[in-house]
A = this chain, B = another copy of it.
Amino acid sequence: MEDYGRFLALLVSALLVGFVSVIFSLVWVFHYREGLSWDGSPREFNWHPVLMITGFVFIQGIAIIVYRLPWTWKCSKLLMKFIHAGLNTIAMILAIVSMVAVFEYHNARNIPNMYSLHSWIGLTAVIFYSLQLFLGFAVFLLPFAPVTLRAALMPIHVYSGLTIFATVIATALMGITEKLIFSLKNPAYSASPPEATFVNCLGLLLVIYGALILWMASRPHWKRPPEENVKVLRPIGGTPEGTEAESTMTDGSNADKSDLRVTSEAARKQNLKFDEAGQRSTM
């Protein structure tokens, strides 16, 4: 792997920033707020930031870059797909539990649901994330979809994944803003009490985490190496894993390796066409 040291440094930084964000969310609810419980009180609400930051931000971020870990490249693609789908499913479940906590808290206190921009964009993100998970499972994990369909959907899958991830972080920042304004009364948010400064720092950490994940996910030279080209060009019906055309947001970095393997000009053209369409699923 090119720049292995730099990749490792970024990975450790991302894991550290993500982990510290989760710790910050726990310190926020336990030190500055009332802690956690499931009884319709503000303590039930507190599950919302903790589970969203843990699941929908931290775990989703890891799910995005899991194909890029070089020590997984010897593992089968199918295993990695299960890990990718599994992490995203865990993130999804935590996000749903986290939403239930807010709805129950609102209902117990007669606070209206779904009035804020945070709730509108957050729910939209959860709906798109569910669709992404369902379509990803049906098209890329189950062995039924033809190569052409996988090839056509992969760039959309990658783009949607990164865009949803960025939108989730934006939604978390709106949620932090809302919560600080609503809960800090004496002193108010504008007086910058310690809780305000601390939670603002949590917001900054989330932005840094997002930026690190997006950098790692969009470097072409850190992609999982493609399967043998002969497999990419093989018609539908082969072994499910490895037969699909593959893609990333940053496609084409392996064009030189491809050139060494294909012999006929027609095959080369087709291969490069696959490259252009963005069909390597190494995200």
Contact = CB atoms under 8 A, between A and B. Distances in A.
A219 B180 CA distance: 39
Nearest to A196: B115
A166 B168 CA distance: 12
A176 B191 CA distance: 20
Contacts of A182: 181
Nearest to A276: B253
Contact of A215 (B159, B173, B191): B159
A220 B158 CA distance: 13
Contacts of A169: 170
Best-buried of A166, A249, A277 by chain B (most CB within 10 Å): A166
Contacts of A37: none
Given A207-B121, A255-B272, A278-B220, A115 B178 contact: no
Contacts of A174: 173-174, 177
Contacts of A199: 117
Interface in A193-246: 196, 199-200, 203-204, 207, 211, 214-215, 218-221
A200 B116 contact: yes
A202 to B, nearest CB: 9
A190 to B, nearest CB: 5
A177 B171 CA distance: 11
Interface of A: 2, 111-112, 115-118, 120-121, 124, 155, 159, 163, 166-167, 169-171, 173-174, 176-178, 180-182, 189-192, 196, 199-200, 203-204, 207, 211, 214-215, 218-221, 249-253, 255-256, 259, 269, 272, 275-278
